[in-house]
Structure 1
């Protein structure tokens, strides 16, 4: 767990605060969500299956949530970029987080896994 904690501690403000808030929001959405470090980034899994992660956009330098199965979502605030499977939700670290949008997307991702559409 130390490496995972170190990931958050190494971030600069205000990105650190955004990541810590996102971590809490995501973990509170379901008791079966676990939190691991994979590929050097914090991943959130539902019953062992990766469903989202946190990272910083290389060009824009903004924190984001990556939704692993984002291709199934049509929300305009989810960006596919050059990915075929994943979509990202960017955040301005100097603004309040859009809590309802975040919770909606996380619940939608969880429902996709719970429905059996994605093998867990």
Structure 2
């Protein structure tokens, strides 16, 4: 198993399946320009080799989240900044439907800010 796969397989179900589904949808949203790497032990998605977003787990909120680079330029009530300068996070509630369309819209918006 490669390190990215290991990251996901350390997460228990049903969270793992949800994050793997989201991972696939992010990668499929732009197969030519979005790539995945492991940075700081976390799966990072890059757009044209520049930071786009990453997954992590919030100990404070006890939920997984997607953190968006250039999040400071995104304005949406579900996004939390919590003292971050360039990033905003979207908490993923595993008991609710995944806001896939919203996440993909955020990714498209962040892509506009990457030079």
TM tier, smaller = over 0.9
Cα RMSD for the two superposed structures = 1.2
Taking the aligned partners of 1:77 and 1:90, their CA distance within structure 2 comes to 8
Report the equivalent of 2:90.
89
- Report the TM-score, using the length of structure 1 for normalisation: 0.89
What CA deviation, in whole Å up to 9, does each residue of 1:11-50 have, x standing for no partner? 0112212210110121112121000100000000011111
Deviation of 1:75 (Å) = 1.2
Report the equivalent of 1:9.
9
Report the equivalent of 1:73.
74
- Report the TM-score, using the length of structure 2 for normalisation: 0.92
Taking the aligned partners of 1:36 and 1:63, their CA distance within structure 2 comes to 18
Report which of the two has the higher share of strand.
Answer: 2
Report the equivalent of 1:63.
64
Provide runs of 4+ in structure 1 moved above 6 Å: none
Report the equivalent of 2:106.
105
Aligned length: 114
Gaps of 5+ in 2: none
Secondary structure of residue in 2 paired with 1:93: coil
Secondary structure of residue in 1 paired with 2:109: helix
Deviation of 1:95 (Å) = 1.7
Taking the aligned partners of 2:89 and 2:4, their CA distance within structure 1 comes to 21
